[in-house]
Structure 1
Amino acid sequence: MTPVEVRRGASPVILAFPHVGTFVPSEIAARLNEEGQKLRDTDWHVDRLYEGLLPDATTVRATFHRYVVDANRDPSGKSLYPGQNTTGLVPLTDFDNQAIWIPGQEPSDADIEERVARFHAPYHAALAAEIERVKDENGVAILYDCHSIRSVCPFLFEGVLPDFNIGTNDGTSCDPAIETVVREVCASATSYTHVLNGRFKGGWTTRHYGRPHEGVHAIQMELAQITHLVTEALPFQYDDDKAAQLRRHLRAALEELELVATRLAAARN
C-alpha cells in the first residue's frame, strides 16, 4: 500500500490527514500486543467528517497508522511538548500510557529509521510538494491539519478537552487573520466549546510548514471525538447526526479560510 494518498484541487486550502490511516504492515502488526492491535489512537473518521466540505481543496492523507510511525512528529524524535506527557515518533504506549508492543518486540533505533524512510518521509514529501504547487497557483497556501482525540485522556491532559482545539504554535504558524476567522467560527458555534493554543498548539506539521512570511500558513484543528462519534470507545462508530451538525461549522471555517487566502495573496502582489 502506498504510504500517502493525494487528491489535488485548485483551492488555496490544503487538508492534511496524518492520523486517519489504519494500515500496519504484517511484520509490524505481529509485534503489537493485544492492546496495540486495537489501534485506539486513530483519528477515527476525520477524513469522512471533512469529505466534500471544501470540494476544491487538496487533500493529503497518510494511509499508515501512527503506531507504525507518527507522521505528525519531528523525524529527529524531538518532543513537541518538553516536560509534558506525550507520545513519540514511534509510540511505545497509547494515550492511556498502556504498552502497545509485545515485551522484547519494541521498535529499535534501526526500526525507527527504516519506518521514517518508508512512511514518514514519503508522506511529507507529498505534502511539501502540494504546498509548493498550491502556493504557486494561488499566491499563498493554507495548510489545515485535521485531527481528533478522545475528550478525556488523563495521561495527556486534565479534565475534559474543549470541542474545538485550534493550534497555531502560539500565533507563529499563520497570519493573525487566519487564527481570527477560525476562532470566531468556533466561538459562534453554539453548544460547542473551543480553545486557542491550549493543550494542543499544533504538531510538527503545523510548526514545520507554517512560514507566514513566505506565504505558507498552517493551522491545526484538534476535535474532541465526542463531537462526531457515538462514543469514544470501540468500535468508535461515526454518529451521522452529530457529524452533520459539526460539519456546518467546519465548512464555515474552511470557506472563511479561502476568503482570507484571497486577501493575503492580493496583499503579497
Structure 2
Amino acid sequence: MTAPHFEILGPDAPGPVVVEVPHAGLGLDPLTARGLGLPSIALDAGAPWADSDVGAAAVCEGLEARGVRRVVATASRYVVDLNSEPRVPTPYEDKLPPGLGDVRRFSCAGVMWWERRRSRAEVEALLAEVFAPYHDAVAAELAASCARHGRAALLAVHTYPDGGRKDAPDVVLGTRDGRCARPAVRDALARAARDHGLSVGVEAPFPGGYSVLRHAAPCVDAIQIELARALVCSPGDRRRPALDPDRVARMTAVLRSLVDALAIELSLGAS
C-alpha cells in the first residue's frame, strides 16, 4: 500500500514484528505546495538526503520474508519530524511580526540557512496531512499483529551520523529506560547485535523518541534502534554520504537476525 507520504510494505498476514522508518523520506511536496520549500543553498548541498536517516530503509528490504510489515516514510523530516512530539505555535507566537521566531537550520550537508517560522495553521495542516496518518498506520499494524499473535514489537529503525568517532557505538538501543519495552526484549536484541561483532550502546546516546513512547502498550514492546552511518556508507565526505552496497547487504543480514531474535523473545513472552 502506498499512501501520500508513506509506504506500507510486507506480507498480507502480519507477523509479530512491525518496523517503522520515520526518517527515510526525501519528499518536500507538502512544503512546496505551501510556499515553504527549502532554499537553493539547502537543495544544492543535498540537505534532504544528508539529513535523512541514510540507509535506514535500505537495510529493511527483504524483511517480508520474516513476516514483517514495514511503515516507511516518504516525506522528508523537513516537512514534519515523525519522531518528535508535535509542537503547535501558541496564539502569541502566531501574532509575532515576520522575522521574529525564524528558525536557523544546520545541516549535516555543511550548510546553514534561516527558515521562515511556520504559522499555527500551517503546522496544523502538516500534522493532519502527514503526521497523523503515518502514526495511525503504525498503530493499525501493531493492533493487527497483537490480534494475530497476542504480542507485538515495534522496531523503529534509524541511522545516525557518527562523525567518524572511533568510540561511537555501532548500534544503540533505546526504550526510554525500559518504559517502552521489557528489558528481556532489549537484551535479546543487544546479544544478537554483539553476536555479529557490533558494539552496542543501551539507552545512550539515543534513549528513544516519540514513536516508541506513543506506540508502546501492554501488548507492544517498542524499541528504537540507531545504526551508525559508517555501517552502511562508503568512507569519504560525510557531508555527502553515499551508500556502500556491500555494507548495506551486511547490515540487512544483521537486521534480519535481530528480527529473528525479537520474534523468539516475543513468542516466549506470549507463552
Number of residues of Structure 1 aligned to a counterpart in Structure 2 = 245
Change (3 A) 1:216 1:64: same
Residue in 2 that maps onto 1:48: 58
Give matches, 1:210-221, under 5 Å: 210-211=216-217, 214-221=218-225
> Distance between the aligned counterparts of 1:254 and 1:101, measured in 2?
41
Residue among 9, 33, 58 paired with 1:7: 9
Q: CA deviation at 1:240?
A: 1.4
> Distance between the aligned counterparts of 2:156 and 2:27, measured in 1?
20
Change (3 A) 1:114 1:183: same
Residue among 146, 165, 169 paired with 1:162: 169
Contact 1:32–1:101, Cα closer than 8 Å, also in 2: no
Change (3 A) 1:229 1:159: closer
> Distance between the aligned counterparts of 1:133 and 1:121, measured in 2?
18
Confirm or deny that 1:141 pairs with 2:146: no
> Distance between the aligned counterparts of 1:66 and 1:140, measured in 2?
30
**Cα deviation digits, residues 197-248 of structure 1 (max 9, x gap):** 001011100111112xx11110011111110011463542211122222233
Residue in 2 that maps onto 1:93: 105
Contact 1:93–1:99, Cα closer than 8 Å, also in 2: yes
Change (3 A) 1:171 1:223: same
Give matches, 1:65-214, under 5 Å: 65-76=76-87, 92-94=104-106, 99-102=112-115, 105-152=116-163, 161-190=168-197, 192-211=198-217, 214=218
CA RMSD of aligned residues (A): 2.5
Contact 1:92–1:106, Cα closer than 8 Å, also in 2: no
Larger of the two Rg values belongs to structure = 2
The code of the aligned residue for 2:21 comes to: F
Change (3 A) 1:143 1:135: same
Residue in 2 that maps onto 1:59: 70
Residue in 1 that maps onto 2:261: 256
3-state SS, counterpart of residue 127 of structure 1: helix
Residue in 2 that maps onto 1:18: 22
> Distance between the aligned counterparts of 2:34 and 2:162, measured in 1?
28
Contact 1:148–1:224, Cα closer than 8 Å, also in 2: yes
> Distance between the aligned counterparts of 1:183 and 1:77, measured in 2?
37
Residue in 2 that maps onto 1:240: 245
Contact 2:58–2:248, Cα closer than 8 Å, also in 1: no
Change (3 A) 1:42 1:13: same
Change (3 A) 1:124 1:262: same
Normalising to structure 2: TM-score of the pair? Answer: 0.82
Q: CA deviation at 1:95?
A: 5.1
Q: CA deviation at 1:98?
A: 5.6
> Distance between the aligned counterparts of 1:263 and 1:120, measured in 2?
34
Q: CA deviation at 1:165?
A: 0.9
Q: Percent identity?
A: 26
Q: CA deviation at 1:77?
A: 6.2
> Distance between the aligned counterparts of 2:16 and 2:267, measured in 1?
8
Change (3 A) 1:77 1:12: farther
Q: CA deviation at 1:100?
A: 4.3
Q: CA deviation at 1:35?
A: 4.2
Q: CA deviation at 1:112?
A: 1.5
The code of the aligned residue for 2:206 comes to: F
Contact 1:32–1:100, Cα closer than 8 Å, also in 2: no
3-state SS, counterpart of residue 93 of structure 1: strand
